[in-house]
Amino acid sequence: AVLPQGEQVVAVCDAYEDRAQKGAGLVEKAGQARPSVYLDYLDVVRDEKVNTIIVATAWESHVEIALAAMYAVEVGGSYSLKACYDLVEGYEKTGTPFMFLENCCFGRREMMALNMVKKGLFGEVVHCAGGYQHDLRSEIAFGKENRHYRLRNYLSRNCENYPTHDLGPIAKVLDINRGNRMLTLCSTASK
């Protein structure tokens, strides 16, 4: 099936060849021509058929890949505060459209809560709390075997590793950047 907007997936990339080939197979299964398969994201950036890049990688590489695309293609998430500034600077220098594709804004529960807020069922919302609440046992316990980036992050970083999962839906509920702005934010972590 062709996507409703007529997009074509012309390239897939993964550092692991088996995953890249699996991605190409999924594109074919969806009724499109087999895309180019790359193991290095720079090959995607250089591919003249590519005009949009979706970065769905380990957190550490989001900004690196996004910046490469912004500077090289007429077109991720961030791993540090400096990386956030790098993305803003990259956008300001290139004018390349960029957006964080935070999928948790569109989950069934999140959309239900947002709908209830918009209908006024909770009154005025003045406080929100969130957390990265997923069952990740298989990705962490078998992270080495599955080659999953979460394992190294949970072993070496004592923090909220994926804050946009919380902040994205909360920002929608509070109309952040639509008349409101964040004044304070508190994040805690424990063993």
DSSP codes joined into one string, 47-115? -TT-------S-GGGHHHHHHHHHHHS-----SSHHHHHHHHHHHHHH--------GGGGSHHHHHHHH
Over residues 179-191, the mean pLDDT reads 76
The token pair at 157 is: 């970083």
Between residues 80 and 73, the one the model is more confident about: 80
pLDDT at 4: 62
pLDDT higher than threshold 70 for residue 78: no
pLDDT at 82: 78
**pLDDT > 70: percent of the chain:** 90
pLDDT at 114: 94
**107-145 pLDDT, tens digit each:** 898 999 999 999 999 999 988 888 777 777 777 777 778
Between residues 26 and 130, the one the model is more confident about: 26
Between residues 30 and 7, the one the model is more confident about: 30
**85-103 pLDDT, tens digit each:** 887 888 888 887 776 667 7
Which amino acid does the sequence have at 150?
A: R
pLDDT at 20: 93
Mean residue pLDDT across the chain? 81
pLDDT at 65: 86
pLDDT higher than threshold 90 for residue 146: no
- This prediction has a pTM of 0.51
Run of H or E including 13: strand 11-13
**Backbone angle region of 179, left / alpha / beta, with phi > 0 → left and psi within -120 to 50 → alpha:** left
**53-74 pLDDT, tens digit each:** 888 887 778 888 888 877 664 3
Give which of 88, 75, 18, 19 is closest to 44, Cα–Cα: 75
